[in-house]
A and B are shown apart, each in its own frame.
Chain A
Amino acid sequence: MSSDQRAHLLDAMRPKYVGAPIKRTEDPRLLTGKGDYTADRKPDRPLHLAFLRSGQPHARIAGIDISAAQAAPGVVAVLAADDIADDFKPVIPFSRMPNYYATPIVPLACKKVRYVGEAVVAVIATSRYLAEDALELIEVDYEPLRPIARAEMAVADGAPLLHEEAGTNVLIAREFKKGNVAADLKAAAVRVSGRFEMTRKAPLAMEPRSCCAEYDKRRDAITLYTSSNIPGIVRDAISESLNLPGHRLRVVAPDVGGSFGSKGSLYPEELLICIAARKLRRSIKWTADRLEDVSSSSQAFAEVVDAEMGFDANGVATSLEADVIGDVGAFSIYPWTCGLEPVQVVSFLPGPYKIASYRGSVRGVATCKPPTGPYRGVGRPISTFVTERLMDLGARALGIDPLEIRRRNLVRAEEFPYRIASGIIWDKTGFVECLDAAAETAGYDALRKQQAEARKQGRLFGIGIASYAELTGIGSRISAAPGMPINTGSETAKITIDSTGSITAAFGVASHGQGLETTLAQIVSDDLGARFEDVRVVQGDSDEVPMSTGTYASRSAVLGGGAAKHASKLLQEKIKRVASHLLEANADDIEVHDGNAVVLGTDRAVSFKQIAKAVYSDMKTLPVEAREELSASYTYDPINGTTAAATHIAAVEVDPATCFVKILKFVVAEDCGRIINPMIVDGQVHGGVAQGIGAALFEELIYDDDGQLLSASLVDYVIPSAPEVPLMDVVHVESESAVAGGFRGMGEGGTIGAPAAIANAIADALSPLDIDVSILPMTPERIFRLIEQAKLKAKGQADD
C-alpha cells in the first residue's frame, strides 16, 4: 500500500459521525405530535383499568365488597387479590446479600396494605371515566395497624412489623471496612462530623407511568406496551410469573416520556394488566394520574447519615466513618432490591479521594411508604453531599481553601487504577483535570474576590465545589445491585442489511429521552461505513434481541455502543468478502465508507444495495458459499465497566429577606470519555443538574407521622421551572476509557454533583452567621429557621 493509499484509508476510517453534534432522528416525530407513547396506543376496542388504592398506611384487609362496582355502568370486571390468586406466582427480588429479606411482589395487596397508594382493587370498564366512577362504589373494610412513618420508628423497641414473616423491619444491613478507622480518627489533626439527611424525592418523569396490554386471541399472546426503561427485565419477570413463554409475551417500551429511574423496576400494575388481559381476552389500557404516579412509583434517596472524617495537619483526609439509615419503604423492588439505594451510599462515600481507612455501615428499614428504587445518581447524590460537606468542614477547620483541599486528596493521574477504601476501583479518569477545568471556567479566584466584595456589603454570597466519581457501563463482574441474580453485564446489537440495501440496527437498550436512536446510529454509521441516514435503530423491544435488560445505570453508551461497534465490524467483514467477489479484489484491499465498498485507491466500488442484491436476489452473481446473510449480532460485556467523574462549582446568593437561594453561576467540568454527540451530552448534563437543583432547593416528599403523603401534587412537590434554573457552563475533559470506543456513561452525573455543590455554596454563603447545611432541600423555610436560630444564638452569646 502506498503512503497515499494509507492516508486515504486513515481518512476514510476517521470517525465522521461520532463526536459530531448530529441532529436527533427522534425529533421530527416528537416535535409534531407523532410520537408513540404508551398512552397513545390505539388497540382494537380497548378496556380501561383503574385502581382503588389504599388510603391507609398500614392496615389489615378484613373484607372487600365489590358487588356495587360490578353492577356499575360499563364495568366489565372487578378484581381483588382473591380473584387472581391462581393466575401468577409472586415475583421475588432475590439477592445473595446476607442480612437481606426479599419481600414478595404481588399485583394487588393481599391480606394487608403497607402504604398509602398501594393498589388494592382493579376495575376494568369500557372507559376510564366509568372505571373511576366504579372505584367509588367499592367498600374495603380495613383494620388499621400502627403506621411506621419514619426510619427511626421502624427500629424503635416494640415497633410493629411491616412484614411479619421477616421478623424485623430491617430489610437489609451491610458494613464495609478497611483499615483501623478508630485509631486513624483518634490520630487525626482535625476531625469533622455531622448528621446529614437527604429527604425522600420523586423522580417525577413528565409522562406518568402507563401500560397497554394488547391481547392477541389467535395465540393467547400479549404485547405489553409499557413506559419502562427495562422492557427485557419486565418480559422475563412476567413470563416467569404468569407462565407465559417469551414468544407469547412481547414487551415494548415505545416512546417513553422520561424515567430517571422511576420506570426502571417491575411494577405490580404491569403484572395485573397482563393477568387481566389474559383473563378477559381483551386489550386493556392504564395510565396513572399524577397522584397515582407520585404515590406509587418508586421513590428516591431518604437517608440519614452520621459521618465523621479525620484529616492530618496538611489537609489529607485519612479516615472516614459513617452510619447510614435508609428509609426504603414498604417493599423491596424487582430486580434491584431495597439494597440498591442505601448500600450504594456506603459503597461510594469515599468518593474520588484517597482516604486510607473507612468504615461504612448501612441499614435499610421498612416503612409505610412506596419503595425506594433507582433515581438518577442512586446513592451517590447523598454520598457526595456528605463527603463534600465533610471536605469543606475540614478545609474550614484547617484554614485551607476548598479547591486546594480537594486537590490534595483526589486520586491523581499516575495513581490509576485506584481502589478506594470501600473497594471500588477507579480506572484512569481525569479527576484533577476536572477540578482544574471547573475552577478555570468558573473563574474561581475572581469569584472569591467577588465574594469578598459582597461580604463587605453584608450580602450572603457563597461558592461551593463538589467532585465525584461514579462507576458506569458496568459489566458482568460487578452487579448493578448487590447480589442480584440477573445479568446486567451485557447488551446485544443485531445489525442487518436487508434485500433493499437498507440497514436496521436492533438493540435491547431502551431510550427514554437520551437520544439512543441517534447516538447508536452514529456509532453504526462510522464502524460499518454507512451513511447516517441509511441506518434505522430499533430499541426497547423484547422481540428484537434474545435477552436484554435495558437502559439504566449509565450503561447504554458503553454497553449498547460497544455492542454496536463489534457487530458493525463483523458485518463490515461480510460486506468486504462479498465485495471482493464482485470487485475481483482482495478483501483486505477493500474499504467501506458512505454505504459503498471501494477498492483502495481506485474508483471501483459497489454500493450496499448492489451487495444486497448480489447476496439475496441474483442467483448467479455469487457462488453459493459466498451468499452469507448480511447480518451480524454481538453481545458485548465490558467486564468491569468504567469510571466517569466531574467537578461542579456553584456560586449562590441567599436573600436574607425571602431566604430564597439564587444560583448565580453553575459550572460543570466532566470526563465522560470519548463524546458520541456533544449536543446530547450537554443536554444530559443540563437536565441532571436541574434535577440536582431540585433536590438541593425544592423537592421533598413529605409524609406525616401517620404515613400520609402531604406533597402529592405538583403544587406541593415543586420541581424547578425555567426561572429557577440558571445558565450552565459545561466543559469536557475527554479522556478515553479502556472500553470499546473509549466511552464512559454520563446520564446521571449532573444529579450527583449539583446537590453537594449547592449545599456547599449555601453553607459558604451563610458561614458569616455560623450556619451549617446538613439537610437537603434547603428550602426558604429551612434557611429562615437556621438564620433565626443563628440570630438567637448570637444574641444569647452577646447577653452572656
Chain B
Amino acid sequence: MVFQITASLLDACVLSRLSRSDTYGYELTQDLRESLQVSESTLYPVLRRLQSSAFLKTYDVPHQGRNRRYYAITESGKKQLDEFRNDWKTYRSRIDSFLGSDA
C-alpha cells in the first residue's frame, strides 16, 4: 500500500472496532491487521493516546491465571467516533471527486 495511514485514521479505526465490542490488545491488533498494514506494536501508542483523551477506558478480566486488559469505548469516544465518521465521509468524497473511477 503506497498510501500511509495517519494517526487520526488509526484512532478512528480503533474506536470503530471498540464500538462493536470490547476487546483486548492482541485481538484488536489482529483484527486491524486483517485490513490495515500495521505492525504488531503500532497500537500501543494509539491506545495510550485514546485513553489519555478519555475516549476509551480499560478493565481487567482474569484469564488463565493472569489478567487480560480489555478496552471499551466511552461516551466521549462514541462522540469522537461520530465526528471521525463524518470527517471521513467528507474526506473520502473529496478524494473520490478526483480519484474515483466514476468521478
**Are A and B co-members of a single complex?**
no
B residues whose Cβ falls under 8 Å from a Cβ of A = none
Q: Which residues of A line the B interface, CB within 8 A? A: none
